[in-house]
Amino acid sequence: MIKNFIAFIASLIFSIAAAIILEALVKEFKVPTFTTLSIAIFGSYILIMFSIIQNLIAKSKRVK
């Protein structure tokens, strides 16, 4: 339970940091905003996916 909460907080922090960094890239390199927003959302989903996989692995080890 605590690991899931920590993974959720980490994904939120990652999302905010990615948005700030990508906003700087938009200003610097004139990259379209939609592209950078899509990258930030994709990165957040990848982080959440890793936390879900870790949770499933931990549950399967407890069952055995």
- pLDDT for 64 equals 60
Alpha helices in 1-64, H assignment, sequence order? 2-29, 33-63
What is the rounded CA–CA span in Å between residue 26 and residue 32? 7
pTM over 0.85: no
What's the Cα-to-Cα distance from 64 to each of 1, 56, 57, 60, rounded to whole Å? Answer: 19, 13, 11, 7
pLDDT for residue 56 is more than 80:
yes
pLDDT at 47: 77
In this prediction, residue 35 has a pLDDT band, given cuts at 50, 70 and 90, of confident
